[in-house]
Chain A
């Protein structure tokens, strides 16, 4: 604890610091942790929005295992994450590396790649559903110039998931910016030394850039993973889960269960399971991060 200067807490009485942090403490209880615990309580009930609620114990949790809609939604969510997370990370890292080169107009390019991440999902979805239009869409027109037959982007079960991922990738600006900051933090002397010792670009990337970037990569991996598992607005607006439920993800199923069928108890149970899965996944990634993440101090001591 930093105590080099006289500690103000003593002179101002014990209560003053708490007055400053009180807003957050109250808000955390009222709008975050309180609701989280309350939904655990709700998940033990058959809880319609109006009418009689009955205690059912863990029944909501056990019925999840027999609910085929839920299990299908889990598979769809895993597919989405398996596609979205790696492609997002690779693309935003590649863009960041391009932006890190000294070429004219760097700042302009950075802004252009970042802009789409600033707009509302509603706008993003209108823009993409028009671009994806089967008959009049700009994408199918560009394909036709290359003599590629038109794709039914949102209507075909084969393509719908990929189309959702592509539209989602348009907003990778935030991830890219964080990679770029990480790249700028690598001292250029290290690269110059590596070039002098005869290392080619591939070796410099895997031997120098990637290890030094690994803490940033870990941060981006965890945040993208969490975002992928909670994707709701995109599927809700772009495909409504269709066609043939090929984009019907868990978050959408939970939303429908709660706010269309008004089964609040069952929906709470599902959202708790999702919360625990996301928590577990993030903890696993953190746990195994020591195998591939290097922090500056370690590199220095080697």
Chain B
């Protein structure tokens, strides 16, 4: 590339990424504005005095600590369940030749295209029958039975590990469980970081699941709590903006912590898959 082309591409990227960041910047600034600066024309680009207390005010205007606790329970427990079950199933598919394995794996892959929308109604009936509506169980328990995409990813990863390693361990008297638990699980950590991040994000960000399964405010998760808060206090823009910023913070932090695994993992899954 010639230097002027390089400059052109670079400036284009600067403009486009600024446009992408503008809505995010705007919500952050709105969270810090005082009431008189929110509704002015032309808009103020930076508050004359950032109102940091907007965050604590917003936090106290609804039971957000309950919502946060519920969100944490759902996200952490479903992530633990997903890491354990998906890696276990992936090991089963990667390291055993049993009758019907290939057919079963095809079924697993085909299951990926069954949309959640198509099963949300019967799932509601099922959880209703189990007495799980208005509890966090519908959002946690299914994660303990693996998810096709994660199983697929982890299976790819295990298949890249030489079988001689398993053989050597077996010579030393290890059984299947020990080979999974002591050898493959530690080796899988980079892939598990990816799976854990995606599961945590999905659980943390989910709106439709909580909306359907939770009716009682004391069981709300953060997205559902924020949505209902902005439904009632629509004019309280600074509080809504402040809570939105707080809701976005954990995913962004998690992303920066696991950036390398996410970038490499997504790309390898997409190109190989």
Interface residues of A (CB under 8 A from B): 1, 3-9, 12, 14, 16-21, 23-28, 30-36, 38-39, 42, 95, 98-99, 101-105, 109-116, 118-123, 126-128, 130-131, 135-136, 138, 141, 144, 170, 174, 177-178, 180-182, 184-185, 216, 219, 226, 230, 232-233, 237, 251, 254, 258-259, 264, 267-268, 271-272, 274-275, 278-279, 282
Per-position binary interface string of chain B over residues 111-130, scored 1 when its CB falls under 8 Å from any chain A CB and 0 otherwise? 10111111111111110000
Q: Tell me which residues across on chain B come within 8 A of A104, comparing CB atoms.
A: 10
Interface residues of B (CB under 8 A from A): 1, 6, 9-10, 12-13, 16-17, 20-24, 26-27, 30, 38-43, 85, 88-89, 91-93, 95-98, 101-102, 104, 107-108, 111, 113-126, 142, 144-146, 148, 151, 163-164, 166-167, 170, 175-176, 180, 201, 204-208, 212, 223-224, 226-227, 230, 237, 240-241, 244, 247-248, 251-252, 255, 259, 263, 266-268, 270-271, 273
Q: How many A-B residue pairs have CB under 8 A?
A: 267
Interface pairs (26), CB distance under 8 Å: A3-B97, A19-B92, A20-B92, A20-B96, A21-B92, A24-B89, A27-B145, A28-B111, A32-B111, A33-B114, A35-B122, A38-B125, A115-B24, A116-B20, A119-B252, A120-B206, A122-B227, A123-B205, A123-B247, A127-B244, A136-B40, A138-B23, A184-B267, A230-B115, A275-B115, A278-B115
When chains A and B are docked, how far (Å) is the Cα of A8 from the Cα of B96? 7
Q: What DSSP secondary structure best describes chain B's contact surface? A: helix
- Select B267's contact among A144, A180, A219, A230, beta carbons within 8 Å: A180
B146 touches A24 (CB 8 A): yes
- Select B121's contact among A8, A232, A264, beta carbons within 8 Å: A264
A120 touches B204 (CB 8 A): yes
A141 touches B43 (CB 8 A): yes
Shortest Cβ gap from A126 to chain B (Å): 5
Task: From known contacts A17-B98, A135-B41, infer whether A12 and B23 are also in contact, taking CB-CB under 8 Å.
Answer: no
CB-CB nearest in chain B for A137: B43
Q: What DSSP secondary structure best describes chain A's contact surface? A: helix
Shortest Cβ gap from B15 to chain A (Å): 11
Q: Tell me which residues across on chain A come within 8 A of B95, comparing CB atoms.
A: 8
Q: Tell me which residues across on chain A come within 8 A of B268, comparing CB atoms.
A: 181
- Select A126's contact among B16, B88, B240, B267, beta carbons within 8 Å: B240
When chains A and B are docked, how far (Å) is the Cα of A193 from the Cα of B13? 27
